Amino acid sequence: MGGRALAVRIRRHQGKDLMRAEVRAKRDAFLHKLKSRPAVMGILNVTPDSFSDGGRFQAFDAAIAHAKSMVVAGCDIVDIGGESTRPSATPVSEAEELARVGEVLRALADLLDVPLSIDTSKAAVAARAIATGAAVINDVWGLQKDRDMAAVVAETDAALIIMHNREEKDERVDILADIRRFFDRSLALAAKAGIPEEVIILDPGIGFGKTSRQNVEAVARIPDLKEYGLPILVGASRKRFIHSVSPSEPTNRIGGSIAAHVVAYMNGASIIRTHDVAETIQALRVAAALRNSL
């Protein structure tokens, strides 16, 4: 079933908008917050095979406890993913992805005061997630993989994260130019579907289809991406390019992650996506204090 048809079917079944009023309020508060200070997005992977924490939070109780701990630590939004996006990860079906995220998302929507985002490239999963209580759709293919995704975002009034991605790495590519072309295509799809610009966030996609040098360049060139006039999200948390600079396993890359995120913030990023919420918030607060004292 197409994304728009699915969204309309769910809307009619419920007899109301897909996004509940309290979820819409969380969405609006989060987007407003981005105008005054950087926000931190906590990562919750309910997968068996994510590159850094696969399997740790797959069980329901573990997932709920971790999400609550990230909110206590100060995160502004929790990003829930049911399919690993690491290189060579095994794709999962729509039904399997929904089974992984559904119960957790439903519980957290009632438990947490912060909004939830759904990390998916499947329109049907996104529609169900918004109906369940998510406020943001985080699409790592920026509306360009599932042709129905733009319609679902428009129908549900979700906020949207458009992330740059590539099928393969290519050292010869001018990565900033490639990111710009990708964003231009995605924004055109969003405009055609009627998605308002004020709910869109851009993500240069650190670690996705880029060489280590290109990842470094993407963080360094955030000021150029600010020309779009939209909030920028950066998720460098525990990514492999850190290993290329300072050899380390994923769980030992907190220092490198914080370094990348502080530079991203200083360069104009509005949202930092991280596994390590408390450490990241402390680093951003210190960076903000130092910057404000200059």
Domains of the chain: 3-293 (3.20.20.20)
d(CA 26, CA 157): 13
Split at pLDDT 50, 70, 90, the class of 14 is: very low
Residue 56's pLDDT is 75
Mean pLDDT to the nearest integer, 35-56: 80
CA distance 42 to 278: 10
pLDDT value, residue 115: 98
* Choice among 16-30, 124-138, 186-200 with the minimum mean pLDDT: 16-30
For residue 55, the model assigns a pLDDT of 61
Strand order in the sheet with 159-163: 200-203, 159-163, 136-139, 116-119, 77-81, 39-45, 271-274, 233-234
Using pLDDT thresholds of 50, 70 and 90, give the confidence band for residue 2. low
The four Cα atoms 54, 60, 66, 67 give a dihedral, to 10 degrees, of 110
The answer to which of 82-86, 97-101, 232-236, 242-246 has the lowest mean pLDDT is: 82-86
Cβ proximity of 185 and 145 under 8 Å: no
Share of residues in the chain with pLDDT > 90 (%) = 84
Question: Quick one: pLDDT band at residue 293, thresholds 50, 70, 90?
Answer: confident
pLDDT at 15: 36
**What φ, ψ does residue 107 adopt, rounded to 5°?**
-70, -45
Look at 2 and 284; give whichever has higher pLDDT. Answer: 284
Strand 116-119 vs strand 271-274: parallel, antiparallel, or unpaired? unpaired
Average pLDDT of the segment spanning 40-47 = 95
Tell me: pLDDT of 198 over 70. Answer: yes
**Amino acid found at 249:** E
Higher pLDDT, 191 or 294: 191
Residue 104 has pLDDT above 50, yes or no: yes
The residue type of 147 is R
Q: Per-residue confidence at 91, pLDDT binned at 50, 70, 90? A: confident
pLDDT above 50 (res 16):
no
69 contact partners, CB below 8 Å, separation of at least 6: none
Residue 136: pLDDT over 60: yes
Region 195-222: mean pLDDT is 97
Task: Please provide the size of the chain in residues.
Answer: 294
Task: Determine the distance from the C-alpha atom of residue 3 to the mean position of all C-alpha atoms in its chain, rounded to a whole number.
Answer: 20
The fraction of the chain above a pLDDT of 70, given in percent, is: 90
pLDDT higher than threshold 70 for residue 294: no
Would you say 214 and 229 are in contact if contact means Cβ atoms under 8 Å apart? Answer: no
Active site residues: 239, 273
Closest CA to 194 of 165, 230, 158: 158
What are 261-272's pLDDT values in tens digits?
999 999 999 999
DSSP 8-state class, residue 114: S
Q: Which of 160, 159, 176 is nearest to 210 (CA)?
A: 176
- Cα 155 from Cα 5, distance rounded (Å): 10
Average pLDDT, the chain: 92
Assess whether pLDDT exceeds 80 at residue 53: no
Residues 30-46 have a mean pLDDT of: 96
User: Would you place residue 18 in the very low, low, confident or very high pLDDT band (cuts 50, 70, 90)?
Assistant: confident
Kindly indicate the confidence band of residue 24, based on its pLDDT and cuts at 50, 70 and 90.
Answer: very high
